[in-house]
Amino acid sequence: MNFDKEFDASGLSCPLPIVKTKKSLTDMTSGQVLKVIATDCGAVKDMQAFADQTGNTLLSNTEEGGKYIFFMQKK
Amino acid sequence: MTTKKMAIIATKGTLDMAYPPFILASTAAALGYEVQIFFTFYGLQLLRKDLSDVKISPLANPAMPMPIPMPVMVQMLPGMESMATMMMKNKLKDKGVASLEELREMCLEMDVKFIACQMTVDLFEFDKAEFIDNVEYGGASMFFGFAGETDICLFV
């Protein structure tokens, strides 16, 4: 999937993946896509909840070799 | 969509109890909430520039997981508190949990408002120069001005 920016949250625990995802989105424009990589399994549900509550769209959510990959499209 | 609001009252000054207010406040701010934390009594320790005095004690803390069982008579020996604090900080770091300083900084970056209880400052004769700059001083009425209109209000 194409993306405009990447944020690697590997090794970070709650709430850093979410809080820093929010920060990464700040300087992006509407419609752009942020790729987030996380190793915290709690991030899977948190990232969906973040999308639901902020209006950003979680385009996909996959696991590859112990890493969770998210594509978040900015509102 | 109207902005949701959350207010937290932080009353504890130990390492374990310092985390919940900053974790919840930074997360809520990331979700778009307007957040205020009212620091009162021992919670004021969390506003110091230097957080090295924020510690965890194994004493009277039976829920704290220890690598080996430790009798209370041992827990009360000098240096045990510093040791437990060091072990906890190492564990937090190993697991990728942010430091208190980092979480507090993130709260400030996301415009979480910190209010320090003026009465407690006077009571414990704290020196305001020891606190970080981004703090407002006020009382319970000032807190209620915001808390009364929140969606979530927590006492920690």
pLDDT at site A3: 96
Asked whether residue B68 is domain-assigned, the answer is no
pLDDT at site B120: 95
Q: Catalytic: which of A4, A13, A14, A31?
A: A14
Asked whether residue B76 is domain-assigned, the answer is no
Asked whether residue B78 is domain-assigned, the answer is no
What range defines the domain where residue B26 resides? 5-54+100-155
d(CA A48, CA A54): 10
CATH class of A5-73: alpha beta
Number of Cβ atoms within 10 Å of the Cβ of B101: 15
Count of the separate structural domains present in chain B: 1
Q: Do B110 and A19 lie within an 8 Å CB cutoff? A: yes
Instruction: Kindly identify which residue of chain B lies nearest to residue A12, measuring between CA atoms.
Output: B96
Q: Please determine, for residue B1, whether its predicted confidence score (pLDDT) is greater than 80.
A: no
Average pLDDT over residues B2-24: 96
ipTM score assigned to the predicted complex: 0.88
pLDDT at site B65: 85
DSSP A5-56: EEEEETT--TTHHHHHHHHHHHTSPTT-EEEEEE--TTHHHHHHHHHHHH--
Domain locations in chain A?
Answer: 5-73
Q: Which two tokens stand for residue B3?
A: 């902005």
- CATH label of the domain that carries residue B23: 3.40.1260.10
Asked whether residue B108 is domain-assigned, the answer is yes
Instruction: Kindly identify which residue of chain A lies nearest to residue B19, measuring between CA atoms.
Output: A15
- pLDDT above 70 covers a percentage of chain B that reads 99
Is A41 designated active site? no
